Structure 1
Amino acid sequence: MDATQVDPLVGQVLDGRYRVESRVARGGMATVYVGRDLKLDRIIALKVMHQHLAQDEEFVRRFIGEAKAAAALSHPNVVAVYDQRVDGAYVYLTMEYLPGRTLRDLLNERGRLPVEVAVNIMKPVLAALGAAHRAGVVHRDVKPENVLLTTDGQVKVADFGLARAETDNKQTKTGVIIGTVAYMAPEQVIAGRSDVRSDVYAAGVLLFELLTGRQPHEGDSPLTVAYKHVNDTVPLPSSLVPGIPPRLDAVVTAATSRDADSRPGDANHFYALLTDPSLAVPAPAPQQERPHNATAVLHNPAPGGRESHTGILPPVHYDTGPSGGDQVLLLDRIMHFVTGRFVLVTLGVIASMVIGWATWYQVSGQYDHVPKIIGVPKGEAINTLNDQGISFKLGKADYSDGQGVEKGDVAAVDPGVGTKVKPGEAITLVISLGRRPKEIPNVANSSVEEAKDRLGKAGFTKFDVTYAPSDSIPKDKVIKTDPKAGKDASPDETIKIVVSNGVAMPNVVGRLKDDANGWLGTFNLRLNIQFTEGEDRGKRANEVLSQTPPPGTPLKQGDTVTLVINKENCFLGQFNPPWCSNNANNPDDDDSVDDQGNKRIPRVVGRPVAEAQQRLQQRGFNVVIQHSDGGAGSGTVQRSDPAEGNRVPQGTTITLWD
C-alpha cells in the first residue's frame, strides 16, 4: 500500500489554511508533504516535525527561532520559508515547492561531474550560503541532500539554520552532538561548535565529491569517518581524477583545512576564490597528524578498520531523506566499549584514551572562553554568546571614545576576551553609547565643503545635506545645521546641513501694484523693482499685467524685477469696470454674494492692519496676520493672499502681510 494512503496527516487542513495532499519524503527530523495554500491558492511544501520532537517545548522554542532566521533570508538560490505554525500536535513550516530532484539524486545517477558542471553547481550553492552568512545565519548541514535541482534548471539550498534546533535539543537532553558525519568539520567533531567556517568546510567536501564522485573520508563506521575528519587531510581531487586543474585542488584544500582559521572566512570568500582566477588561494597552515597520546576525543582506529578499533558510538539507526542523511551520534561523554563488535585494544591505549578524555573534559568541557565580541553589534554578540552557551548580563552603557566602536556595539566585556569562565558564570557586556558628545560649531553662511571641513575638525564625520529656500542666505550657502550650532551631539550621529537654494521669483500677475511690491520687499534681497505702464480695460487699475523675470526664476541680491502695471481706466459712464471709484460696484462697496456664494475681497493694501482686519471680518472672512520681516511688522498691510478684488467663498482665510 502506498505510504500516502496510510499517513493520517494526508487530507487534513492545518490551521484552516494548508491542505496536506501527499507525502514526499521522511527525514530524521521531519516529514515533507506537498500541500496547497487555500488562501493564496498555490502549491507549497509542508515540513512537519516528528511527534517526539514536537512534544519537546525546548526544541519547539529553538526550532521557531531558527525558522524565523531562515524565513528572513531572501535570495534566489535559497528555498523560501513562507510561514511557521503550530496546529495542535503538529509543528510545521510552509515552504516554496520546487519540483525536481536533489543533488544526491544526480550524483547517484552520474557519479562524478565534469569540472565545469561541478563549478556551475557550486556557484549558486555558495551564493546562497554567502547570503546567509551575511545575515548571521549558519546552515550547519550542507550536503547534497539539501541542494535541490529544479526542473527549470535552478539550484536552491534548503533547510537553513534548521539543523541547529535539533542539535541544541540533543545537547540539552543527552550532552551529545548531532551532525552529518561525511561533511562535518573537525571543530564540530571535537567541540560540538560550528560557525560560517564549518559551512565552508562542508561546502569544500561537497565540491570534492562533485569533482571525484566520492567523499574524501570513507570508512566502515561513522566513528572511522569522524576520526579522519579530525586527523587526516582531504586529498587533492586530482589525485583521484587526473586532469582536474591545480587551482581547484588549491581551493578544495583551503576550504577543507582542518584549521578553521586557515579556511576562507565565509562562503562569500569561498565563492570569490572559486570564480576569480586573479585571487591568490591562501595556503593552509601546516597540519600535523595528532600523536596517539594527544587529548583528542577520537583516537586512531587500529589497522583493520571496523574489526579492530575502540568504539565510542553504539550502533544507532537513522532515517534518511531530504533532511536526514547519515546523521551520527558523536562525542557521547559516556564511553561505550561494545564487546563482540570491536576488538579490545591494549591497556596502554585505553589508559591514554581515558586520560586524554579526562584532560579534555577538565580543560575544555568545564570552561568556556569569552569570545572576541568587542566592536560587535549588541544583537550579534548576544547570539554568539547564546550559541556558545555562555551566560551574560548587561552592564551600564558607556561612551567609547578612541576605541573604533560604534554606538550599539559591545565596548567592553568583563572578564576580558579569552578569559575562561565556568558554565553558568555570567559575563558583563558594556554597550557603547557612541563617542562622547561635542559642541556643534556655527557653519552658517559657509559653503558645504567649508561646513564639512569645520564640522570634521570638531569630530563629526557623518553628514546629510538638504536644501531649502531662503530670502536672507545666498544660494549654495549653509542656512543652519540640525542639531543647531551650540548644541552637543555625539560624533556618531548624522549632522543635517541645510543649504540655501535661493529665492524663486513668485507669480505676482493679477495682484495690485502695492501688493506685489510689498511681497517682493519681504525677500530682503534689495531688488531693483521697476514699473512700466500698460493698459487692459478688462483689468483693474494698478493691477500687474506681466512680470520679468517669469515665475520660478532664481533671485539674488540686487536683481532687477520689472512689473507692467495697468493704468487708470475708469471713466464716467455705465460701462466702467465694477472696481472703478466712480462706480457703485467698487470693491469697498460691493458686499454682494454671487450665485456660487462668493464675496469680493475689499481693498486692504496700504491700510492699517487693524482696519483691514476689521473690514475683512465684517464681510465674513477669517484673517491671519504675518509679519514680513519676522519681527513686529510695519503696521500697514503690504499684501494679501488671496489678493484684494478677487471673489472667494465666505469663511475663506485671508492672510495679511505687514
Structure 2
Amino acid sequence: MVEVGMLLNNRYEILEKIGEGGSAVVFKAKCHILNRLVAVKVLKDDLSADMEFVEKFKREAYAVASLSNNNIVNIYDIETEENINYIIQEYIDGKTLKQVITENGKLDYKDAVNKCRQIASALDCAHKNKIIHRDIKPHNVMVTKEGVLKVTDFGIAKAADSATIIRTEKVMGSAQYLSPEQAKGMHVDARTDIYSLGIVLYEMLTGKLPFDGETAVSIALKQIQEKPVPPINLNNEIPISLNNIVLKAMDKDPINRYQSAKELIDSLDNFSSNLNTDFTSNSSNNEFTRVMDPISDTTFFKPSDIENIKKREELEEPEDKELPIDEIQEPKTKKSSISKKTKTMIAVLLAIIVLGAVVVIGYTIGMGGSKSQSSNTTGTLTVPNIVGIQQSAAKTLITGKGLKFTVADTKSSDKPKGQVIDCYPAVGSKVSNGDEIRVTISAGPAEVTVPPLIGTDLTSAKQSITSSGFTLGNVSYENSDTVQSGYIIRDNPADGAGAAKGAAIDLVVSSGPAIKMSTVPDVRNKSKEQAIDALSKAGLNYTINTVQTADNSLDNKVASQDLAPGSSVKQQSMVIIIVNQYVDNTANVPSVVGQTQSVALATLKGQGFNMSINPTNATATTQAQSNTVQSQDKSGKQTKGSTITVTMYGTYTAPAANDTNTTTPPTK
C-alpha cells in the first residue's frame, strides 16, 4: 500500500493524496532526480492482484504514453515495485472540468465550444493512434490556470485494433456519460468517445446532465431508450446551430453522429467562424422589413409577427399523420393539393401586402399634400450633404435647417461605425420645412468570431485564422512551463471575441520551458544528504560515486565535485559528487616466529600484510630452529598492506665428535 512519505523506485517521494477513482488512487509526488512535481497513479490492490488485468493495462498504458498532444496529460513511466503497479504522469496544477462546471453552474457557450474543441483535439490524436478513451467525462479533464485542457485517465482505454483491456463481460465507464453501445456491451469505436463528449458539452452549456437517475442501471437504460431534452430548452442563449451540434454528437445511432473527432472539430470551427455573421441580406423576412422601413416610423408587421402566426397555426392544426401505403398510392377522394395551413398562410401574406400598400399610399398622399415629395423642386430647402459624416454631426446639420432627422436603418459596411452611408430624400433634393430626412447608419464592418486557437499548434492556428476570414498578425514567442512548445498560449483578439473580417490576429506561441541558470553550490566536505539538498534547491541533478577512506572522520562526506563551485550552468544540469566511504583497513599482525619462511609468508598475506626478510640470519642452536623465523619487527594492529620484516635462523649445524673422551678397554 502506498502512503504519504514513501519513496517509490528510490526516486518519487509521495507528498499527498489528490484523488481517487474506481481503479486507482492518485498522489502528488516529487521526482528527486529531475526535481519536478509529478502525479503518481497507483492501481488499487484488487486490480493489482489480477495479473491479466495488470499486463493488459501496462500494454495499453505504453501505447497511450506514445501520444503527443498538448491536450493530453503526458505519461512519463509505468512501474511495478513490490506488487505496486503505478504510472508516473504529468502533474497539473489546476481543477477538473467538473469542478469548473460546478462552480459556474453553466459556461458561456463560446467558452464551452473552446473547451469542447480542445477535448476533441485530444481525442483526434488518440483515435489516429487507434486508442479509444471510453470514459470521457469532465472529471477526467484537467483545466490548467492558463485555460488549457488536459485529458487524463486512459485507465480503461482500449486499442481500436485489439481486445479491450478489461474482461468483456464487464461494462466500464460512468453511467451518466456512457454511450448506448457501451451500455449494451456492444462494440465500441471512436464514435463512442464523441457521444460522451456530446454529453460533456451538453453539461457545460446547461449545467445539467441529459440523463440521471438513482442507479447506474436506470441511467444506462435512459441512455439507450430516451431522447435528451434539447439544451436550447434549458438555456435559450444557446444558438440553434450549436444546439444541433450537441444533438448530433449525442445521437443514439453511431452512424448518425460525427464519424470522427476531426469532423466535430470542423463543425465547431464553422460555428465559431459564423457566429456573428450578418444574415440580413439573405433573409426574406428582413427583405420585407427593409421594404417597409421608408413607409413611416411605425411598422405594423414585423418578421416575428409572421413567425408567431405560423406557430399559432401549427398549434391549432395537428401535424398530418402518415397514411397507409395503399391510401398514398390510391386516394379515395381527390383533394386540393393546397392544405388548409397553406391557404391560411397565403391569406395572411395577402393581407399584409394589401395593408402595406395602403400605408404606402397614405404616406405618399401625406408627403404630397402638406409637404412636397422628395423630387419636388418647389421646396424651399435643400437636403445637405450628410453622407460620410458621423450621425451626431449629421443630426445637428439636419435639425439646424428645420428638418426632422430619423435613423431608418443600421447595417454593416466598410465605412466607420456611426457614419451616415445613405439618406432619403437624396442629398441635393428640395424639401420643405419640417420634412423628414431618413438616414442609414453604418454599423461598421461585419464582425466574425475569432476561432478557438489557444492550445492548438501554430500550423493549425494559421489555417483556422485564414479559413475564418482573418489575417495572421504578429507572431511572438514566450516561454511556458505548461504549454507545449509550438502551441498557442494566447491570441489577440482573444478566442470567441468578435472582430472585423480581415482583421489581424496576433499569436503568442510557446517556446517551451525557459532556460534557467543556476549557480553550482560548493558541497565539498558536506555530508551526502546536505549536498543532495543543496543541489536540489539549486535546480541541479546529481550523480553520486563513492571512494573508500580509512579515515573514519571523513565517512559520508563529499570528497570532490566535477563542476566548479560558483560556476553558472543550466538548471537540470548533472553534477557528479564523490563521497567518502569509511572502510576499517587495519588488522592484528599475526605472530610468525618459529614458522618456516613459506608458512610465515602465507600467514601474513592471509591477513593482508606483505613480508620482507632481514638479510642477516641468526645462528640456529638447535635442530628445531633451523630455517625458521627468529623474530618480526611489527605486531599488534597495523594498516593492511604494511610490510612485516622478519629475521630468519640459519641452517642448524651439529658440533664435531671429541676423541679424548673415548675409553679403550684394557687388554687381558
Structure with higher Rg: it is: 2
Q: Shorter-chain TM-score category? A: 0.3 to 0.5
Of Structure 1 and Structure 2, the greater helix share is in 2
TM-score by length of 1: 0.40
